[in-house]
Homo-oligomer: A and B are copies of this chain.
Amino acid sequence: MEVAYLGPIGSFSYRAVKLAFPDAKLTPVATLVDVIEAYEEGRVDLALVPIENSIEGPVNLTIDQLFHQSSAHVVAEIVLPIVQNLLVVDAKRAPEKIFSHPQALAQTREYLSEHFPQASSVPVASTALAAEIVQQHPTLAYAAVANLDAADFYGLVPLAKGIQDVAQNNTRFWVLGEKQPHIALPSTAQKVTLALTLPENLPGALHKAISTFAWRGIDMTKIESRPLKTVLGQYFFIIDLVSNDNIKYACKEMESLGITVRNLGKYCIYEGEK
């Protein structure tokens, strides 16, 4: 089995895909769009894409690509806490320059300014690239903010672990595929994700759509509007529901109102690590 993910090795996507599919062939791909295309074109069996992750790009890009350019189904969701670490070549030397992705530097700002007030922060394109820069300059007092896989891959040691300022900060990934894969992680709940496009001539259309869930006792856990790129000021809606047999009737009712419903998938949520 081959799984495409947003590389390089050492990224948070790599950590998620490795935890979920420890025995699969893991193929790093350069951009989010390319990951989804690799799956669409049948070059891989599964694809893993970040859908809520402040480091590897906005959720919007994934959601827009899946909605506008793809017919792929979501077959699993992986939730991974963001854990940042300070990686160095030599743990006895205090870092003078700290490299990382701008968001990872932002996530560790308080820790770094308290413990290493003299060190300057240098933003680079990814956390994995930061680790590579540190590896390539072993004689300099460089450090990288990245995850522990990057330490393994680039031969660095953690000077400090778990240095993110906000403890509870998860990243979420979707697995695209044909059927539910075996995932080597504990599963917590089952969800359904729908994409709704509302008709222009239906006043209060979103209220009507949500009513079809409310009176059936279907729990909505997330809702997001995204602009339809065809018409300025028009939106489609991504809605997460707790899996429930009544969802199919809600979908029929919405369709009878003229609402376009696309089922992006019914899938389990897996916890990456505590």
For A170, the chain B residues whose CB sits under 8 A away are 227, 232
| Interface set, chain A 184-215, CB cutoff 8 A to B | 203-204, 206-207, 210-211, 213-214
Q: Chain A: residues with CB nearer than 8 A to chain B?
A: 31-33, 52, 54, 57-61, 101-103, 105-106, 109, 123-126, 129, 166, 168-170, 203-204, 206-207, 210-211, 213-214, 217, 220-225, 227, 229, 232-233, 235, 237
Q: How far is the CB of A138 from chain B (nearest CB, A)?
A: 23
Q: A interface, by DSSP: helix, strand, loop or mixed?
A: mixed
- A57-B54 contact given A102-B125, A232-B168, CB 8 Å threshold: yes
Name A240's closest neighbour in chain B (CB-CB). Answer: B225
Assess A31 versus B125: contact at CB under 8 Å? Given A214-B207, A225-B224. Answer: no
- The complex is assembled from copies of this chain, and their number is 2
Whether A61 and B207, one on each chain, are in contact in the complex, defined by CB atoms closer than 8 angstroms, is no
Query: Which residue of chain B lies nearest to A56 when distances are taken between CB atoms in the complex?
Result: B102
**A123: chain B residues within 8 A (beta carbon):** 125-126, 129
